[in-house]
Structure 1
């Protein structure tokens, strides 16, 4: 049902000569009873529908409607009584407040209209609207706010609307205003609660996915009120997400492991109003596990400025310390490993430059050979370092292609012979070996690392053997030496960076070659492995790559 404005019914001011026949006391009492009934509802939709239904009961009418207006006076909700949902749908959009319904809101004055068709402010009815002749309408006011309008049409009992009817509906509208305001406040409170719960759940997800441990401690004793998943894991008491009131068992020690009084823990200091930044401590868990942590803490105050809680953030810096140690080791290795070839190159070049003419031909040739050999080693070390840098930066992009292994292996052996003086190389590869799918440059670098490593840890005169086998899908290259071998407990760490497990400390090496080889092979979709019968029994390094797809196509 809509206002006589192309979209709804509305009304005029009361006619001065209208007479009512119903006792005023009955309608007024009925209005108060209805108001008490409405007061029990808190859900806004239920309040609005109950109001229009009760209005028709208080003042018997064929139709009733209630429009809720926004701050600009636009009708945003329109509740009807007396028409079916199908009739309501056929009428179309809700009234826009252009006619009498808009006048009720703008003028804030009641209307009694005996003939809607003769009312100047009426703009007519939309299609399929039920016929209406009379109207009684009042604004719904709360202080200086207009919450909407309430109106009735087509008075029953064979008479028109009168002043007692107007008094009754005004009483109902006054109570309706309070009920609507209360329902809106309740709805707003529910929305706020839902938003708070959503924000709490979002905060839980955010905190549980932070890499740092976060705890909230309460004044004055520092009891932990909240902890994220990382805090629970770090303390060794993780049993799923337990943000609220978790039981954490831990102690804080100084960075050097000495005891730290609880009063000096960052969370307790923050409860005294201090801000703690970048404090390095040791976290001792219930499992007696020591973990180096970097701690931040800050006070949380209430609206009166009182410190009621503290937030503490623990960052696990074990990996950071390991990275720093790794960096120190790396710099130490570079300075040591580069010094030897650079010394040989510089010494030989200096000697040739200063006394070259006085040296015999054999000595000059030996010096030049040493310079070339050491330069090649230096070049290989630099190539490994640059490739490791590319891997760490994510810039390594293999270019796969069919690789003819017999040619590549023989070429790699020829290069190895330049520096592996005194070693024998044996190659066992069938002419039927299929091409491998991989990056020829990367595989070549891996083979050079294998051969250099084998020669380095094998005695002069020993043999380095290359054997290739294949199955239906893959081809595997094995490089076997007769050197110092690898103990079983060290096999798992052979391919780690800067690690030379079980290696002779007198043998030069940065511990990058095998680490690099693993990444180069894995980047091509292959696998790398090492086996050894034990210390002093040699080792076999293996690379497995898929057979080239072109081979199957043929």
Structure 2
């Protein structure tokens, strides 16, 4: 029986229904900005617009290759059977390359169905539509199995064409939003990892952090840093994460036969999407025991010259996006600057250490000579000359303390200080430090007191270094507390820790400076004009390093004009059995 001829009223009702369906579809795809959601909504809505059983949306990249394939109307199992992305041949190729609609009554009998994946669900009727905007094709949309009819008609094609144009706009908008969001994420990720790099001043620790950060920003399982050794013409592994090291040979890359060597020769980033297609290219094994299938290598430059590379590895073959490449290149620039800074810091530390050692011998001679001279001055020695001898003795002692602080801080920051731990009673340590410094406080008419609300409590510390921590904090309080001021030491305990508090009623520290006072050589600007307040600016950095070495915490609380309190928290020693 033939289909009934539609009356004008039926046609109007049909147009209104399809208009409402299409309008609802427009609203659905335009109010969403997440790209994955937009693509799925387009596939789902297209099915409704043309009343089909199945819909699929393919999105092409800049090279015209299908990079996304979204389906609607089939089960998860059927989608998994389809497998790889369509290749864009046959009918799909016509949609993508020629940009013209395609309508077929029975696709199973059409030789152009070769472009569909071999495990594609069975199809009968088909309606295909290019998805384009201003002449640029961004994808293709095809529907199969018209519901209620044997094939798609002119009206279906007209409505799908209208919908595809709006879909193109939605895809472009979602793409722009996705790129902006990804750029924001990349910038945030880059800022976070760069911030972590700036915390390291020791090159090898920095190499480790660069490897970890590379994996973090790209979401890859393995990365490595290789530095150029020009004397033996090869790259040496400095740090790696996710790699398997079988022998010493795995710690080197030859200049010939490695991607790193090509980066050095061509002075640019190198991306290899499928390493199995290359011959005699050396790459390290991953921790899984397998070779990577893809990698990206970016140069590290020091003062404009390539002296190393960052390599990032993928265990599966993949394409690195332009955004990923740009992100790693930007990170490599920051890593290069951090390495330059670390190398300069290392050179400075070596110079300071060497200078301090070289000055020790002549300074010892000056101290000994001035001490002998002061001890044997005749009674009628002119007062002015006596004052000069005293100045020599005092300032040589000050210089000796400065050099000792420099050497001590250098040893601490390079991990060359080892603790001799023992059980000590916290109150006894504090009392000893307070008693030794009381005469110093009395010279400025300052009141130094120690209070505690606890019974004896034991901590495991290096007695000598703990005394150094307390003396540094008390000396700092003495220095910045005015004449006649007050300094209080308090000891608080809990079940797991002790907290030592050193409080003064000095000028206080502005909030913006409280994170700086533990940096070497830093002195509070409020005292720059006070010549009587002197110091090396090393006491608090040394104290922080010593507290960290004891696995404790140190912090400061201060309000300008209301004094300052330093806190040191240490774990309580376990009970002896």
**Range of TM-score over shorter length:** 0.3 to 0.5
Higher helix share: 2
TM-score by length of 1: 0.41
Using CA pairs below 8 Å that are at least 6 residues apart, which structure has the higher relative contact order?
1
TM-score by length of 2: 0.39
